[in-house]
Amino acid sequence: MKTASFFAAAALAALLAPAAHAQVKLTVPQPSPATKTREAFSTSFVELNYSRPSLKGRTAFGGLVPYDQVWRTGANTVTKIRFGEEVKLAGQTVKAGTYALLTIPGKADWTIILNRDTAQWGAYEYKASLDVLRVQAKATKLASPQESLRLSLENLQPAAADLTLAWERTQVSLPLTANPDPIVLAQIKEAMQGEKKPYVTAAQYYYNSNQPDLTPAIGWLDEYIKTTPASAFYGYYWKAKLLQKQGKKAEAGAAARKSLDALAADKNEISKEEYTRLNMQLIGEVAKK
């Protein structure tokens, strides 16, 4: 009996031993935190996925990151960039998809690389045969030091931006552009065949993208005014803007005055005040010689 108890206790101790010596998983600050940024761009997005090393009193380029060698453009796994639609980077066409973003830092000039291998750790297994793009860029000096690596879209416009790297006192930028017209115009054409037609949104796109023929947009606004009398002031205001862009000053002024007339029935004091001001401003502009 004593012997049985002894063996039972020994077996229990053996079972508990691994648990007693198991390491507790700790959550600690990461030296190079991973980050993902996603910016709306053109009709889709640009996404950056990378880890951000910091200086911590060290020298970045020519120190931590050697000159004239392929760099992962961050820390840990290779930096990735994803385009939601076809774009042009420094004038070169890049199809929609995800790419490894690699760089070769130089004292004055950098090489920016997009590569198909998005699973590589660092750049140790980099293969130039998998490159889809290589472009040169000038390095400029920042006025104040950047402690942690930052990748971002700067000078962001609806279909243009600068893809920018900044770290230490170095900044490198590449122009990024898209051509949303074929996509949006196809969407408008299809939408206008449907039951709920996006009259105002389509007209605003024609205005903001400087389409050469604004006549269809003016027609859409006429339809909007007929079908949405409660918001006729809004339709007349945008019609006035389109006519102004066409150089039809008298017609633009007349449309703006119709917008003011329609505002009389608007019970929202905020929109009434705002569109009264906007219409008066437009009337003043078209009245100038």
Identify the band that residue 17 occupies on the pLDDT scale cut at 50, 70 and 90: low
Digit-coded pLDDT (tens) for 143-156:
999 999 999 999 99
Q: Which two tokens stand for residue 149?
A: 């690596």
Q: Does 223 have pLDDT greater than 90?
A: yes
Across residues 273-281, what is the average pLDDT? 97
Digit-coded pLDDT (tens) for 236-261:
999 999 999 999 999 999 999 999 99
Across residues 258-274, what is the average pLDDT? 93
**Same domain for 209 and 167:** no
| Domain termination residue (choose one: 177, 195, 210) | 177
Q: Does 18 have pLDDT greater than 60?
A: no
**Same domain for 189 and 173:** no
Q: Which residues pair with 37 in a beta bridge?
A: 48
- Residue 2 in any domain: the answer is no
- Taking the model in full, what pTM does it have? 0.83
Give residue 9's pLDDT: 52
Q: Does 59 have pLDDT greater than 70?
A: yes
Contact criterion met (CB below 8 Å) for 166 and 147:
no
Residues 6+ apart with CB under 8 A from 79: 48, 49, 50, 51, 72, 73, 100, 101, 102, 151
End-to-end CA distance of the chain: 114
- Residue 14 in any domain: the answer is no
How many helices and strands (H and E) does the chain possess?
Answer: 7, 9
What gap in Å lies between CA 281 and CA 261, rounded to an integer? 15
Q: Does 16 have pLDDT greater than 70?
A: no
Of 252, 272, 253, which Cα lies nearest the Cα of 262? 272
**Same domain for 197 and 152:** no
What CATH number did the domain enclosing 211 receive? 1.25.40.10
- Residue 12 in any domain: the answer is no
Radius of gyration of the chain (CA): 30
- Residue 1 in any domain: the answer is no
**Same domain for 53 and 67:** yes
Identify the band that residue 233 occupies on the pLDDT scale cut at 50, 70 and 90: very high
Q: Which two tokens stand for residue 18?
A: 């691994």
**Same domain for 207 and 163:** no
Average pLDDT, the chain: 93
Give residue 96's pLDDT: 98
**Same domain for 200 and 157:** no
What gap in Å lies between CA 268 and CA 277, rounded to an integer? 14
Give residue 134's pLDDT: 97
How would you list the strands of the sheet with 80-83, edge to edge? 34-41, 44-51, 80-83, 97-104, 109-115, 131-157, 160-177, 87-89, 92-94
- Residue 279 in any domain: the answer is yes
| Domain termination residue (choose one: 128, 146, 177) | 177
**Same domain for 151 and 56:** yes
Domain count, the chain: 2
Q: Does 63 have pLDDT greater than 60?
A: yes
Q: Does 267 have pLDDT greater than 80?
A: yes
Q: Lowest-pLDDT range, 24-28, 75-79, 107-111, 221-225?
A: 24-28
- Residue 23 in any domain: the answer is no
Of 135, 136, 169, which Cα lies nearest the Cα of 150? 169
Which structural domain, as residue segments, surrounds residue 197?
Answer: 181-287
Of 193, 192, 178, which Cα lies nearest the Cα of 43? 178
**Same domain for 190 and 173:** no
Burial of 155 (0-12, 13-18, 19+ CB in 10 A): exposed
Across residues 109-118, what is the average pLDDT? 98
- Residue 3 in any domain: the answer is no
Residues of the chain above pLDDT 70, percent: 92
**Same domain for 173 and 43:** yes
**Same domain for 274 and 166:** no
Give residue 222's pLDDT: 98
Task: Determine the Cα angle at 209 with ends 189 and 37, to 5°.
Answer: 95
| Domain termination residue (choose one: 177, 198, 229) | 177
What gap in Å lies between CA 289 and CA 278, rounded to an integer? 19
Digit-coded pLDDT (tens) for 168-189:
999 999 999 999 999 999 999 9
**Same domain for 205 and 169:** no
**Same domain for 165 and 259:** no
